[in-house]
Amino acid sequence: MSNASQSWASSEAVRASMRANKSRDTKPELALRRAVHALGLRYRVAFRPLKTVRRTADLVFTRAKVAVFLDGCFWHGCPEHHTVAVTNATYWAEKVRRNRERDAHIDRLLDEAGWVVVRIWEHEGPQEAAQRVVDAVHQRRPDVAAPRRD
Query: DSSP 3-state assignment of 22?
Result: coil
| pLDDT for res 2 | 45
Within-domain flag for 4: no
Within-domain flag for 89: yes
| pLDDT for res 6 | 46
pLDDT digits (tens, 9 = 90+) for 6-32: 455 556 765 555 555 556 789 999 999
pTM of the full structure: 0.82
| pLDDT for res 65 | 98
Give the distance from CA 81 to its chain's centroid. Answer: 15
Return the higher-pLDDT residue of 46 and 88: 46
Within-domain flag for 47: yes
The answer to whether 148 touches 40, Cβ cutoff 8 Å, is yes
- CB neighbours of residue 23 within 10 Å: 8
CA-based radius of gyration for the chain: 17
Structural domain including 28 reads 18-140
DSSP annotation of 100 reads H
Within-domain flag for 76: yes
| pLDDT for res 1 | 44
Within-domain flag for 24: yes
| pLDDT for res 7 | 55
Total domains present in the chain: 1
| pLDDT for res 74 | 86
Confidence of residue 143 (pLDDT cuts 50, 70, 90): confident
pLDDT at 127 over 80: yes
| pLDDT for res 110 | 98
CATH number at residue 116: 3.40.960.10
Give me the DSSP letters along 120-149.
EETTS-HHHHHHHHHHHHHHH-TTSPPPP-
pLDDT digits (tens, 9 = 90+) for 62-110: 999 999 999 999 889 999 988 888 888 898 899 999 999 999 999 999 9
Question: In this structure, are strands 66-71 and 57-61 parallel, antiparallel, or unpaired?
Answer: antiparallel
Stretch (H or E) spanning 69: strand 66-71
The answer to whether 70 touches 25, Cβ cutoff 8 Å, is no
Within-domain flag for 60: yes
Within-domain flag for 25: yes
Average pLDDT, the chain: 87
Within-domain flag for 112: yes
Q: Which residues lie below 8 Å from residue 56, measured CB to CB, with a gap of 6+?
A: 46, 47, 48
